[in-house]
Amino acid sequence: MKSTHILTALSLPLCATTGFSQAVEMKQEPKSQRPNIVIILGDDLGYSDLGCFGGEIKTPNFDALAKEGVRFNQFYTSASSSPTRSMLLSGVDTHLNGMGNMSEMTAPNQMGVPGYEGYLNNRVTTLPQLLKDAGYHTYMAGKWHMGKQPDQIPAARGFERDFALLDGAGSYWDMMNFSANTPKSTFTEDGRYLKSLPKNYYATKTYTDKMIGYIEANRADGKPFFAYMSHQAPHDPYHLPREWRNRHVGEYDKGWDVVRQERLQRQIEMGLVPKGTELAERMWFIPQASLLAPATKMIMGKKMELYAGLVENVDYHTGRLIDYLKKIGEYDNTIFIVFGDNGAEGTDLFAQIVGSAGTANYLFAAIAWSQTHPNAWGDPQSYVGYGPMWAQVSMTPFSQYKGNLAEGGIHNCLIVKGPVVKRPAGSINGGFMHVADIMPTLLEVAGASYPKTVNGQEPPPLIGKSWVKMLAGEEESPRSGQDYMAWEIFGNRAVRQGDWKLIWQYKPFGTGDWQLFNLATDLSERHDLATQQPEKVKSLVALWDKYVQDNKVILPDRVIWEQQEKRLPDRYPVVDGFPPLISQKQFIPPANMMADPKP
């Protein structure tokens, strides 16, 4: 989020987009047969938030796409937004594409190291660039978060038209940012840095308006289009119009434990998770909701009401885009790919940025983000996030949330609908899939190939697998049981091969040692099998070591987990009702044994 606000546009972004055209090989196929592509990316959207993934949140437009297409229940991303976006648009591992760490979190020993630039580097090409060279229009609206300099912005990385928030988050109403050093968010439109925002700006609505406008402007030429709807929502702060804030009044007062159980039951009934799936253990520092006072339940519930309204607002504007495509006759020839960029956000980011009293950031927040009354939540200058308790609800049935490599940090919902999908409508697929697969999939769909050189050098290899055969129903998964994927972010690390997952996380969210889980029987990662399966641990550690070597991974010497163990309560197993003292109910004697006192 740290950048100088540049108001001058250079010719470089326009020139930089032309470097790969000779590298794309076209198949001899009429353009009219190639489908349009729409990617709808939710920012911090939880696995179970959409109705079609078990949520009580009303998402009829996403649900309709799922009913006509396919849902995938084994889809993975990174544990944070810009690393995921970098793999989506490059198909290359984060440690090679420039996002080995987020720019906001780069460790001292990673600074200046290739692969850790904090932006999408020039050693990789991009999906929009290759699609544009293959004859597609390429449009983007929403959050970028992969660089702010003129050669790093969307127009420089293959997008023909863009309206982009370059920062990782910000106000939905205006250009207000979070810290004293970066008080103003940076936006671009068609390669130019914006001095101000459009009249009546509201992020989700404006992004959708822009995208519809881009498609309409070039509709007459008959070329297919790639539309990247990179939503800011439902990332905090939870800003939304007043008419969207009261759609779930009182619904969440029953608390997170109940809502999580209800979501799990619906997921089992839908076939998204196996019968008998356990909920992940409620995180040890989250209270049992039934023990809270009514006023506390109401205030905590109101935060989830706002979040639900934000998700429903995204669904509504997605419906506007869908209706437009139907109106112009392009809906049936459009591939829709819908997913969240990482696990739901359970960390108080605002508190991390604001810091302690007496600092410049603390004073800035007190002035710029002063609307703290619950009645003002959702307005400009208000900041609301829903906390770890509701983040675990959003990630039902998984353990933990964004920033962690437990399933709750990296396991996401995915819907794919469109002419390349030949599987039964409304079906669910359990193939092992990854966000990096989208690049090779869409290159195959578009009739393009990955270049042999980028800026005169051999580019890093694609790490994904094409979904085309799987979407056509010719195979059940793009990966065999021997294929593996690995992750590292903020020093935490994980490997998955087949049903086995090995994970190492810093305390207190991890143990500071390798843990082993069999996801076929333990989606919620409750049962560590490391001591029982030492040979499996050894084989997966060998894969991790190979991943480190192949991708030039540098583990950070400073991490965001420092001091967390001291700030949080000691970690013990969570058992509802223990100790009994705090949950015992009033004893009521049998009515026929009640009596008044004797004189």
Q: What is the pLDDT of residues 551-576, one digit of tens each?
A: 999 999 999 998 888 889 999 899 88
pLDDT level of residue 352 (50, 70, 90 thresholds): confident
Confidence category of residue 32, pLDDT binned at 50, 70, 90: low
- The b-or-e profile of 447-478 (16+ CB within 10 A means b, else e) is bbbbbeebeeeebbebbbbbbbebbeeeeebb
pLDDT beyond 70 at 42 = yes
Residue at 454: amino acid letter: V
* Structure confidence at residue 11 as a pLDDT band (50, 70, 90): very low
Q: Is residue 24 pLDDT above 50, yes or no? A: no
Helix, strand and coil in the chain, % to nearest 5: 35, 15, 55
- Give me the pLDDT at residue 19, please: 36
- Which tokens is 125 given? 């090409």
CB 403 within 8 A of CB 69: no
The Cα 311–Cα 56 span in angstroms is: 11
Torsion angle, CA of 553/488/457/452, rounded to 10 degrees? Answer: 130
Instruction: Locate the domains of the chain by residue range.
Output: 35-462+484-567
Does the domain made of 35-462+484-567 have the CATH classification 1.10.10.10?
no
What is the distance between the alpha carbons of residues 460 and 13, in angstroms, rounded to a whole number?
22
- Stretch 340-351: mean pLDDT, rounded? 94
Q: Using the predicted structure, report yes or no on whether residue 17 has a pLDDT greater than 50.
A: no
Q: At what angle do helices 387-394 and 256-270 cross, to 10 degrees?
A: 10
Q: Going by DSSP bridges, is the β-strand pair 70-76/137-143 parallel, antiparallel, or unpaired? A: unpaired
Which pair of tokens denotes residue 306?
A: 């706002």
β-sheet bridge partners, residue 140:
162, 228
> DSSP 3-state assignment of 521?
coil
Q: Is the pLDDT of residue 496 over 80?
A: yes
CA distance 136 to 196: 30
The span from the first CA to the last CA of the chain, in angstroms, equals 76
Name the residue among 82, 70, 89 with its Cα closest to residue 44.
82
Residue 583: pLDDT band with limits 50, 70, 90 = confident
Phi, psi (rounded to 5 degrees) for 243: -70, -10
What mean pLDDT do residues 263-277 have? 98
- Please tell me whether residue 237 adopts helix, strand or coil conformation: coil
Cβ neighbours of 329 (radius 10 Å): 9
Mean pLDDT of the region 336-355: 94
Q: In whole angstroms, what separates CA 489 from the centre of its chain? A: 14
Tell me the two tokens of residue 47. 């696995």
Phi and psi angles of residue 14, each rounded to the nearest 5 degrees, phi first: -70, -40
* Closest to 188 in 3D by CA, of 224, 222, 156, 162: 162
User: What pLDDT was estimated at residue 33?
Assistant: 79
Token pair for 5: 């606000």
Cα gap 499→523, rounded to integer Å: 10
Q: Convert the pLDDT of each residue in 234-254 to its tens digit.
A: 999 999 999 999 999 999 999
419: left (phi over 0), alpha (psi -120 to 50) or beta: alpha
Alpha-carbon dihedral angle through residues 161, 163, 166, 168, given to the nearest 10 degrees: -120
- Is pLDDT of 163 > 50? yes
Task: For residue 154, give every residue at least 6 positions away whose Cβ sits within 8 Å of its Cβ, in sequence order, or none.
Answer: 128, 140, 144, 162, 164, 188, 191
The neighbouring-strand residues paired with 226 are 37, 138
Q: What is the pLDDT of residues 504-531, one digit of tens each?
A: 999 999 999 999 999 999 999 999 999 9
What is the Cα gyration radius of the chain? 24
Query: Cα–Cα distance between 412 and 119 in angstroms, integer?
Result: 23
Mean pLDDT of 382-392: 97
Q: What is the C-alpha separation between 250 and 505, in angstroms, rounded?
A: 37
How much is the pLDDT for 63? 98
Element (H, E) at 138: strand 137-143
Q: What is the pTM of this model?
A: 0.93
Dihedral (Cα; 270, 272, 275, 276), 10-degree rounding: -130
pLDDT > 50? residue 22: no
Give the confidence band of 534 by pLDDT, cuts at 50, 70, 90.
very high
Inform me whether the pLDDT recorded for 27 exceeds 60.
no
What is the dihedral sign for C-alpha 543, 280, 394, 425? Answer: positive
Rounded to whole angstroms, the Cα distance separating 203 from 150 reads 23
Question: Quick check: 447 and 131 in contact, CB under 8 A?
Answer: no
pLDDT at 343 over 50: yes
User: Of all helices (H) and strands (E), which one includes residue 433?
Assistant: strand 433-434
State how far the Cα of 385 lies from the Cα of 390, in Å rounded to an integer. 10
Does the pLDDT value for residue 29 go beyond 90?
no
Mean per-residue pLDDT, 376-384: 97
Check residue 12 and give its pLDDT: 35
Distances (CA, A) of 312 to 50, 173, 245, 247, 275: 9, 18, 10, 9, 28
Assess contact for 236 and 383: CB atoms under 8 A.
Answer: yes
The token pair at 388 is 């770890």
Mean of the per-residue pLDDT values of the chain? 93
Residue 182: which of 207, 197, 165, 199 has the closest Cα?
165
413, 339 contact by CB (below 8 A): yes
Tens of pLDDT, residue by residue over 63-91, are 999 999 999 999 999 999 999 999 999 99
Residue 210 has pLDDT above 90, yes or no: yes
Residue 134 tokens, joined: 């293959």
Q: Is residue 162 classed as helix, strand or coil in its secondary structure? A: strand
Give the CA diameter of the chain: 104
Backbone angles phi, psi at 487, to 5 degrees: -135, 150
